């Protein structure tokens, strides 16, 4: 345990059963791929330390079971995670449609400022593709979430997906510090005032529209 | 999340939840949808959770090191004074002018300050400096993950024998020793000055005693009880007590998943595994830092009763300011049968970390077949007027009582249930050094009791500091017909950090009624005299000013004013 690191980010992989969450994680952590399908029991996690702008970032990536019977266990891990990857299978229409439900699920269970990302996995299987890349992009734009198509089998974009998410979290962290920085004292007051200013006009508008 | 899943067992979920569940096809009855986990599955999950706990411990230690490092810096800092450096105490000179830190607004010399490059915008160009102390605090905030969780995660302070007392080495030590005398002088000469914006009064005293001790007896293993120990131990204890958000919650979730009979899942798995491994080698128990507990078990066939003698506990974690606790044990035979709960508790032993209970409790109606399958859970609580905090727990399989030496020593393990349950409020504290005020944000409430005939309450919160020279009292708005209100209202209490360690923040939650007196819903006291979670929150707020510390606290129904 002598290995030190600067930050610990907790990430979470969610998505329907069989979309390849475990494979993605396996590829990222061990750089390997296993063709056989072994359903995850409840939860699992893997660790990998990456280097981001000279900082050592330890990623603790939680892999959840897509199966419903583990839902209670898996949702318990939403709150503690800083980044969530929503995975769907490009050869499975249903898993893509379910992304919306997963996002609702995140909204209900995860903390509000969690970083999200959508992954369309198995993009190597062009012949069996049911969900086009454009549709994935469309969905991502709709929710304002980053999107990337990956293939755990061909090791396509898996690294970059995790790096992107980690970088986003790190950026958010820096930004948060900045926000609280111009002095805690003022910032508090600032925020309140800013909110109030925002609130007032909207209330005016709403009143107008009602009339 | 917590209250929703708790509510849905008996209460029909709201429309939003229903529609979501319809989409997810989880069904709306919690009992129906999930077949109970098989033992092998439970074991697999337990293994993962255990692995995660190890990671969390490493992380907690790392955060502890960060906290200790910062504390060391703070202790060795000279304290703010006009025309001298906050950290090294160097006086202002013509060629080396002092800079003003843009965060704490104190002056520091050019050596103890870093340029805040990110603030090169014209707006902040004047104050683009940050003192090392503030920089370190920020760095700690980032590295510990507190930026995300909005309060410090659990941490374990490093053992002082393994790591040096001052991580910033010799320089800090020499500085401190040199500085102590001058410090004392300062404290005496200007008692009214806000000398310790950064280090509240007690920590400064602590630093003095500590350094003195380090000179006189540097090699003491079992040092005497002093203020320093109390502080650091109290804290390490508290931090241990505090649970990580990730590991513990799933246990609760797992508990929920199973249905009543075979229900109690993960926790019980661990329970069943633990005692067997521990009992085989009683003399050397791996102490997880929560202390040990000695009990005696005796089963009587004739009356089918189990007599449990709780002898003593050793090395419990400290819960209050003085590092002591008021422990009592709650015993329960698991799994429960139906709704009937078989719980017994010992008397409270006050103000000790090594209580002698010497109390025998009898469980009746325990058959011999029960002995094979059931287990005894012992949870230690800290008795407090404002809610009890869990200090640790242990579990023994009942079959142990059939073995020859029925006297057992158990290592206590960390408490479960990170977030309080029942009526609770989410509270954010922030001491603002600029406004010289404590900013209290009442964020939200959950699971409040209902007091009106419509099954709801109309809650609002009253809060005041005690003692407060300004006699300020605040009230939130009233949230009508709501048991889970979201207030997000901020209140200011002007005070000094030195005062803060003597003050208590009292919150009372009320149900607004017209035509009759308001109904009392619950209360909460945070402050130096409070304990456990509440004390930790309070001390974090004092120790790390200008940061928002968010935490849930359970309400108690005792009205104390």
User: Which chain A residues are within 8 Å of B126, Cβ to Cβ?
Assistant: none
CA atoms within 13 A on the CB side of B24: 30
Q: Touching check for A171 and chain B: CB below 8 Å?
A: no
CB contact under 8 A, B20 and A108: yes
Neighbours of B515 (CB within 10 A): 4
- CA separation for the pair A119, A101 (Å, rounded): 15
Angle among Cα A160, A166, A168 to the nearest 5 degrees reads 100
CB B322 within 8 A of CB B226: no
Give the tokens for residue B109. 């010399």
CA distances to A58, B162, B213, B215, B223 from B219, rounded to whole Å, are 36, 12, 10, 10, 9
The β-bridge partners of B442 are B427, B489
Note the helical H segments in B261-390.
Answer: 266-280, 368-373
Q: Looking at chain B, which residue has its C-alpha nearest residue A97?
A: B23
Give the pLDDT confidence score for residue B147 in this predicted structure. 86
Which residue among B20, B103, B148 sits closest to A181, beta carbon to beta carbon?
Answer: B103
Which residue among B45, B116, B430 sits closest to A73, beta carbon to beta carbon?
Answer: B45
Instruction: Give the helix, strand, coil percentages of chain B, each rounded to 5.
Output: 35, 25, 40
Give the pLDDT confidence score for residue B404 in this predicted structure. 62
**Chain A closest CA to B118's CA: distance in Å?**
8
CB contact under 8 A, B546 and A180: yes
Kindly state the greatest CA–CA separation across chain B.
Answer: 91
Which residue among A69, A101, A185 sits closest to B34, beta carbon to beta carbon?
Answer: A69
Give the tokens for residue A115. 């970083």
Residue A115 DSSP one-character state: E
Strands A115-121 vs A55-64: parallel, antiparallel or unpaired = unpaired
Residue B122 CB burial class (10 angstroms; 0-12, 13-18, ≥19): exposed
Residue reference for tokens 């209490």: B493
CA atoms within 13 A on the CB side of B548: 23
CB B240 within 8 A of CB B156: yes
How many DSSP H helices and E strands does chain B contain?
Answer: 14, 20
Neighbours of B75 (CB within 10 A): 24
Residue reference for tokens 């979670």: B533
The β-bridge partners of B464 are B473, B506
CB A103 within 8 A of CB A116: yes
| Cα B333 to the center of its chain, rounded Å | 27
CB contact under 8 A, A44 and B142: no
Share of chain A above pLDDT 70, in %: 83
Whether the predicted pLDDT of A55 surpasses 60: yes
CB contact under 8 A, A76 and B257: no
- CA separation for the pair B237, B313 (Å, rounded): 15
- CA separation for the pair B535, B525 (Å, rounded): 9
Give the tokens for residue B463. 């809060």
pLDDT in tens, A145-192: 999 999 999 998 999 999 999 999 999 988 887 766 544 333 333 333
User: Which chain B residues are within 8 Å of A108, Cβ to Cβ?
Assistant: 1, 4, 17, 20
Angle among Cα B553, B555, B559 to the nearest 5 degrees reads 140
User: Which chain A residues are within 8 Å of B59, Cβ to Cβ?
Assistant: 8
User: Which chain A residues are within 8 Å of B242, Cβ to Cβ?
Assistant: none
User: Which chain A residues are within 8 Å of B439, Cβ to Cβ?
Assistant: 188
Q: Touching check for A104 and chain B: CB below 8 Å?
A: yes
Task: Select from B48, B127, B267 the residue whose CB has the most chain A CBs within 10 Å, as the one to mutate to test that interface.
Answer: B48
pLDDT in tens, A71-123: 888 888 998 899 999 999 999 999 999 999 999 999 988 888 899 999 999 99
CB contact under 8 A, A104 and B23: yes
User: Which chain A residues are within 8 Å of B552, Cβ to Cβ?
Assistant: none
CA distances to B85, B493, B499, B559 from B504, rounded to whole Å, are 32, 12, 10, 15
Q: Touching check for A91 and chain B: CB below 8 Å?
A: no
- CA separation for the pair B77, B186 (Å, rounded): 13
Task: Select from B69, B141, B250 the residue whose CB has the most chain A CBs within 10 Å, as the one to mutate to test that interface.
Answer: B250
Residue by residue, pLDDT tens for chain B (561 residues) are 444 444 545 666 677 776 766 666 655 554 444 567 788 888 888 899 889 988 888 888 888 888 888 888 888 887 777 777 877 777 777 677 777 777 777 777 877 877 765 544 555 445 577 788 888 888 888 888 888 888 888 788 776 544 333 334 444 444 444 444 443 433 333 333 333 333 333 333 433 434 343 333 334 333 333 333 333 343 433 433 443 444 444 444 444 444 333 333 444 444 444 443 343 334 444 556 678 888 888 888 888 888 888 888 888 887 777 778 888 888 888 777 766 667 888 888 888 888 888 888 888 888 878 788 888 888 888 887 766 677 888 888 887 777 666 778 888 876 544 567 788 899 999 888 888 889 999 998 988 988 888 888 899 999 998 888 888 899 999 999 888 999 999 999 988 888 888 888 989 999 988 888 888 888 888 888 788 788 888 888 888 888 888 888 888 877 654
- CA separation for the pair B360, B447 (Å, rounded): 36
CB A27 within 8 A of CB B30: no
Neighbours of A83 (CB within 10 A): 24
Give the tokens for residue A121. 């996995």
> Please, what's the b/e burial string for B305-333 (b: 16 or more CB within 10 A of its CB; e: otherwise)?
ebbbbbbebeebbbbbbebbbbbbbbbbb
Residue reference for tokens 């009880």: B225
CB contact under 8 A, B245 and A79: yes
pTM over the 0.80 mark = no
Q: Touching check for A130 and chain B: CB below 8 Å?
A: no
- CA separation for the pair B16, B392 (Å, rounded): 38
Long-range contacts for B355-359 (Cβ within 8 Å, ≥24 apart)? B355/B312, B355/B313, B355/B316, B355/B327, B356/B311, B356/B312, B357/B310, B357/B311, B357/B312, B357/B313, B357/B329, B358/B309, B358/B310, B358/B311, B358/B312, B359/B309, B359/B310
CB contact under 8 A, B33 and A77: no
Residues belonging to chain B: 561
- In total, the C-beta contacts within 8 angstroms joining chain A to chain B are 139
Q: Touching check for A105 and chain B: CB below 8 Å?
A: yes
CA distances to B118, B140, B436, B439 from B432, rounded to whole Å, are 22, 18, 6, 7
Q: What are phi and psi of B481, to 5 degrees?
A: 45, 65
CA atoms within 13 A on the CB side of A147: 20
Mean of pLDDT over chain A: 83
Q: Touching check for A163 and chain B: CB below 8 Å?
A: no
CB contact under 8 A, A42 and B45: yes
Which residue among B44, B138, B145 sits closest to A177, beta carbon to beta carbon?
Answer: B138
CB contact under 8 A, B138 and A79: no
Q: Touching check for A71 and chain B: CB below 8 Å?
A: yes
């Amino acid at each position: 345990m002598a290995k030190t690191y600067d930050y610990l980010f907790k990430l979470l992989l969610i998505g329907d059963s069989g979309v390849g969450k475990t494979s993605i994680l396996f590829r990222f952590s061990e750089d390997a791929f296993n063709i056989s399908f072994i359903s995850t029991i409840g939860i699992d996690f893997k660790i990998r330390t990456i280097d981001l702008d000279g900082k050592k970032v330890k990623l603790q990536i939680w892999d959840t079971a897509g199966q419903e019977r583990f839902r209670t266990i898996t949702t318990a891990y939403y709150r503690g995670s800083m980044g969530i990857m929503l995975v769907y299978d490009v050869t499975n229409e249903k898993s893509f449609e379910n992304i919306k439900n997963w996002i609702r699920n995140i909204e209900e269970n995860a903390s509000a400022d969690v970083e999200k990302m959508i992954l369309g996995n198995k993009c190597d299987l062009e012949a069996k593709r049911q969900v086009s890349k454009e549709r994935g992009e469309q969905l991502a734009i709709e929710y304002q979430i980053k999107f990337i198509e990956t293939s755990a089998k061909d090791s396509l974009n898996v690294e970059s997906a995790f790096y992107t998410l980690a970088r986003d979290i790190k950026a958010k962290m820096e930004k948060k510090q900045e926000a609280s920085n111009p002095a805690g004292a003022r910032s508090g007051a600032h925020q309140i005032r800013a909110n109030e200013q925002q609130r007032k006009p909207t209330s005016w508008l709403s009143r107008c529209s009602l009339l | 999340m917590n209250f929703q899943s708790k509510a849905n067992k008996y209460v029909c979920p709201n429309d939003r939840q229903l529609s979501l569940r319809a989409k997810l096809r989880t069904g709306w009855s919690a009992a129906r949808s999930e077949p109970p986990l098989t033992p092998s599955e439970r074991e697999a999950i337990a293994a993962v959770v255990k692995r995660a706990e190890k990671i969390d411990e490493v992380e907690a230690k790392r955060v502890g090191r960060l906290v200790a490092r910062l504390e060391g810096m703070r202790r060795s800092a000279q304290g703010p004074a006009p025309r001298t450096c906050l950290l090294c105490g160097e006086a202002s000179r013509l060629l080396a002018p002092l800079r003003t830190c843009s965060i704490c607004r104190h002056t520091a010399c050019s050596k103890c300050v870093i340029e805040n490059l990110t603030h090169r915008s014209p707006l902040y160009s004047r104050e683009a400096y940050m003192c090392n102390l503030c920089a370190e605090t920020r760095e700690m905030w980032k590295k510990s993950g507190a930026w995300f969780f909005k309060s410090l995660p659990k941490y374990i302070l490093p053992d002082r024998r393994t790591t040096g007392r001052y991580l910033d080495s010799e320089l800090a030590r020499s500085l401190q020793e040199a500085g102590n005398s001058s410090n004392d002088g300062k404290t005496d000469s200007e008692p009214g000055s806000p000398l310790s914006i950064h280090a509240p009064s007690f920590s400064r005293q602590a630093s003095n005693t500590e350094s003195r001790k380090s000179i006189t007896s540097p090699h003491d293993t079992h040092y005497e009880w002093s203020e320093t120990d109390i502080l650091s131990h109290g804290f390490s204890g508290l931090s241990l007590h505090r649970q990580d958000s990730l590991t513990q919650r799933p246990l609760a979730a797992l508990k929920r998943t199973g249905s009543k009979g075979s229900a109690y899942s993960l926790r019980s798995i661990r329970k069943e595994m633990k005692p067997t491994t521990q009992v085989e080698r009683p003399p050397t128990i791996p102490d997880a830092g929560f202390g040990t507990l000695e009990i005696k078990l005796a089963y009587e066939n004739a009356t089918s009763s189990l007599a449990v003698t709780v002898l003593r506990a050793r090395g419990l974690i400290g819960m209050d300011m003085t590092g002591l606790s008021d422990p009592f044990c709650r015993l329960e035979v698991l799994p429960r049968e139906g709704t009937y709960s078989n719980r017994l508790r010992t008397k409270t032993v006050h103000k000790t970390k090594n209580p002698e209970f010497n109390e025998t409790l009898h469980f009746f109606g325990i058959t011999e077949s029960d002995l094979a399958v059931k287990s005894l859970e012992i949870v230690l609580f800290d008795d407090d007027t404002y809610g009890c905090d869990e200090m640790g727990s242990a579990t023994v399989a009942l079959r142990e009582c059939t073995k020859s030496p029925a006297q057992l020593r158990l290592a206590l393990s960390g408490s479960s249930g990170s977030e309080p349950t029942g009526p609770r409020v989410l509270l954010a504290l922030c001491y603002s050094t600029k406004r010289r005020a404590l900013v209290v944000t009442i964020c939200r409430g959950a699971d409040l009791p209902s007091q009106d005939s419509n099954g709801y309450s109309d809650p609002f919160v009253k809060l005041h500091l005690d003692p407060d020279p300004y006699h300020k009292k605040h009230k939130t708005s009233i949230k009508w017909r709501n048991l889970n209100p979201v207030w997000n209202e901020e209140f200011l209490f002007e005070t000094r950090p030195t005062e803060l360690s003597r003050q208590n923040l009292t919150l009372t939650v009320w149900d607004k009624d017209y035509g009759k007196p308001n109904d009392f819903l619950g209360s909460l006291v945070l402050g130096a005299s409070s304990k456990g979670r509440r004390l930790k929150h309070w001390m974090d707020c004092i120790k790390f000013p200008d940061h928002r510390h968010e935490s849930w606290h359970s309400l108690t129904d005792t009205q104390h004013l």
